[in-house]
Amino acid sequence: MEKRVVAEVSKRLEQEYGSGFDKTSISRMIKFYQEFPDFEKVATLSQQLTWSHFVEILPIQDELKRDFYAAMCMQENWSVRTLRERKKSMLYERTAISKKPEETIKNEIAELRDDGKMSLDLFYRDPYIHDTK
């Protein structure tokens, strides 16, 4: 059912507005809405991240991990290529913050995103996980 609705919406939007509304794009837009329901957070992130950043972040299942990469992109001005490299090198898993309680992680990511304050736990890396480069 959902696939048919997406196909129909895609068809109508493309007829009215042109390209850019294919089924894949519409599906990404729906996933974006589902994964980033907090308007204030999206408003903050969207001022500095491109749609390509969000497309790269959307497949991340873990909300904390997704928020970490989004906040780091914003604060460190990562390109999409840098974001891909950091994800591939498992940067989140290598930070000390990833071993902390969920509430601590949420608070530190919020401080990074909202105030630009990077805690030591976001900065320090696990010495037992080596870069792939």
Torsion of CA 98, 65, 56, 51, to 10 degrees: -130
Structure tokens at 87: 């994800």
pLDDT at 114: 82
Structure tokens at 129: 């996980």
Over residues 3-39, the pLDDT tens digits come to 899 999 999 999 999 888 999 999 989 888 888 888 8
Task: Give the Cα separation of 8 and 90 in Å (integer).
Answer: 38
Structure tokens at 95: 């930070």
Ranges of residues in the chain with a pLDDT under 70 are 1, 120-133
